[in-house]
Amino acid sequence: MSHEQPDSFDATCVHAGAGPDVPGLGMQTPPLSPPIFQASVFDIPTLDLMTRAFVDDPEIYAYSRAGNPTVRALELAVARLEGAEDAMAAASGMGAISSVLLSLLSAGDRLVTTTNIYGNTRTLIDKHLSRLGIRISHLQPEQIEAGLPEGTRVLYTEPLSNPTLVAADLPRLAEIARAAGARLVVDSTFTTPYLCRPLELGADLVVHSATKYFGGHGDLIAGLAVGPKALVEPARGVMRAVGSNLAPQEAWLTQRGLRTLHLRMARHVENGQVVAEWLAGQPKVAATHYPGLASHPTHAVAQRILQHGYGGMIAFDLPSDGPGGGRAAFERFLGGLSMIRMAPSLADVGTTISAPAFTSHRGLSPEDRAAQGIGEGLVRLSCGIEAAGDIIADLARGLAAV
């Protein structure tokens, strides 16, 4: 019986990293569910193997901070989903992002980001990388179009920005980065390879918070960096040095989530479109931000870079005028909800909301938040896999309280 690798995205989700793909087993009858190698160290019988383990051979295991078979199974599975040569897992999305940026940048280099990115990434860059002598620029698309500043080594973006869902023209950004001799790094957490495979659009490295759609059930924290081995290995070296390795249990949970990624994403996407269209027609919603709406300013860009739809994330503004607007409107809206919970994360099977001004983007100055359209009345909605009608009914209850 042959064990050829599946070709379709759906089959890869279900089978990658399991059975004969599990590293380190050497079994004629491997388990269909990958085992958890709950070990900190491994028995190394020869100095030759020890030497190979400590010169970064990912298939020789010595110490789980440096590598673990359960973690490696996840890395290989995600690499296949992204169409990449290799992947590196980390203890969180921020662990993956920081490992990648530290592996690519040195004092005097310039890091350019698109203006609208995840708030904690912005905090990492502005408050910590800047202290290392790395020069920072946050630019609007038209500024990037004019050319990257001298000394730019990394251009960083998100296919759909967190939280206002601005779509990035990845092929064009890749052209601009290449012309400047810079690497394009893309945080594809909101999109996953189900919606977008940035490497195929010109990106050099892709990072994910696997806590979100990959895991999908709100029970793990993990991150991944994906790309060519020549770029993944330096990031892996940083990850090992700072100790932001992923634990085997979280790796196993993430891989379990991958098995239903294609099914969950289809429902997230379906619900996202239906709910966004409903929100856009509500008088108590000042603005609806969803790239699947023809009225969205980057709808045409989203059509070019995405497949299978526009995602399960929506942002919308509650009224901001007067003493009853902004934060007060948000609190009344929250109080009117019954099924939907507020949680500072996203991509769970259950629908959740978040308040970016008070959570993910709280570290930004009021001026920076305003420039990104993040007011106190902005609601970030993560559509779960419930029936769309149930989500809409609960949102209607919340809006009735505003």
The one catalytic residue among 61, 118, 213, 310: 118
187 is catalytic: yes
Structure tokens at 386: 């419930």
CB 79 within 8 A of CB 72: no
Q: How far is CA 109 from the centre of its chain?
A: 25
Q: Where are the beta strands (DSSP E) in 23-92?
A: 86-90
Helix (H, G, I), strand (E, B) or coil at 299: helix
Indicate which residue of 187, 204, 317, 348 is catalytic.
Answer: 187
Listed residue (180, 127, 164) closest to 302, CA to CA: 164
Distance CA 297, CA 19 (A): 45
Q: Is 19 left (phi over 0), alpha (psi -120 to 50) or beta?
A: left
CB-CB neighbours of 91 under 10 Å: 18
Task: Tell me if residue 65 is catalytic.
Answer: yes
Q: What's the rounded Cα separation, in Å, for the pair 335 and 192?
A: 32
Q: Is 229 a residue of the active site?
A: no
Long-range contacts of 131-135 (CB under 8 A, 24+ apart): 132/105, 132/107, 133/106, 133/107, 133/108, 134/105, 134/106, 134/107, 134/108, 134/109, 134/110, 135/108, 135/109, 135/110, 135/111
**Furthest C-alpha separation in the chain:** 73
Catalytic one of 122, 183, 212, 369 = 212
Q: How far is CA 250 from the centre of its chain?
A: 16
From the candidates 10, 52, 57, 65, give the one annotated as an active-site residue.
Answer: 65
- Backbone angles phi and psi of 223, in degrees to 5: -145, 160
**Of 227, 223, 195, 228, whose CA–CA distance to 208 is shortest?**
223
Q: DSSP letter at 127?
A: I
Could you give the residue numbers annotated as active site? Answer: 65, 118, 187, 212
